[in-house]
């Protein structure tokens, strides 16, 4: 799938998320929506990344941003992961890969010498009009969440 150009308007979408809620892109009350796509609940990199977003959650809120994590894991897995890490934000379940396809984050990766299809760790900042204003692909976890916060805070 071709990469989505920055500043492209997104089609409205909805998806199931934790706490029995449904995510709907249109009508988000926040100035910015941060969607971070990660490969799998309870894996080392995904745990570290989620805890970093958790630890800076208040600063993101101050900057007018809501955070949502997205992976192909089930809602049940997400609820357990969210509770275990005490995440103050919701996780979106995308088992059918609809959002993954829309954002172009499904990639062939090498794992233990074999090619596997999975989510390329990526983060998107979406403004109140539904446009992607910044994206990071192929994310390395150390320092990433600070960089996202710095970007969001600079937009205020």
- Residues forming the active site: 46
pLDDT digits (tens, 9 = 90+) for 80-117: 999 999 999 999 999 999 999 999 999 987 777 888 88
pLDDT digits (tens, 9 = 90+) for 122-147: 999 999 989 999 999 999 999 999 99
Phi-psi region of 31 (alpha: psi -120 to 50; beta: other; left: phi over 0): alpha
C-beta separation of 86 from 3 below 8 A:
no
pTM for the predicted model, two decimal places = 0.91
Residue 38: both structure tokens together: 């990660």
> Looking at domain 32-147, does it have CATH number 3.40.30.10?
yes
Cα 91 to its chain centre, rounded Å, is 8
């Amino acid at each position: 799938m071709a990469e989505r150009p920055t500043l492209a308007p997104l089609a409205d979408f909805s998806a199931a998320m934790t706490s029995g809620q449904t995510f709907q892109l249109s009508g988000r009350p926040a100035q910015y929506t941060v969607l971070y796509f990660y490969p799998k609940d309870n894996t080392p990199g995904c745990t570290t990344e989620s805890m970093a977003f958790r630890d800076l959650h208040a600063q993101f809120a101050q900057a007018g941003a809501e955070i949502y994590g997205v992976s192909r894991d089930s809602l049940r897995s997400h609820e357990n992961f969210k509770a275990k890490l005490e995440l103050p934000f919701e996780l979106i379940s995308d088992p059918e890969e609809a959002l993954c396809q829309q954002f172009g984050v499904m990639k062939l990766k090498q794992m233990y010498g074999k090619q596997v299809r999975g989510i390329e760790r990526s983060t998107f900042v979406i403004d109140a009009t539904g446009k992607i204003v910044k994206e990071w692909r192929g994310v390395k976890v150390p320092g990433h969440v600070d960089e996202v916060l710095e970007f969001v805070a600079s937009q205020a």
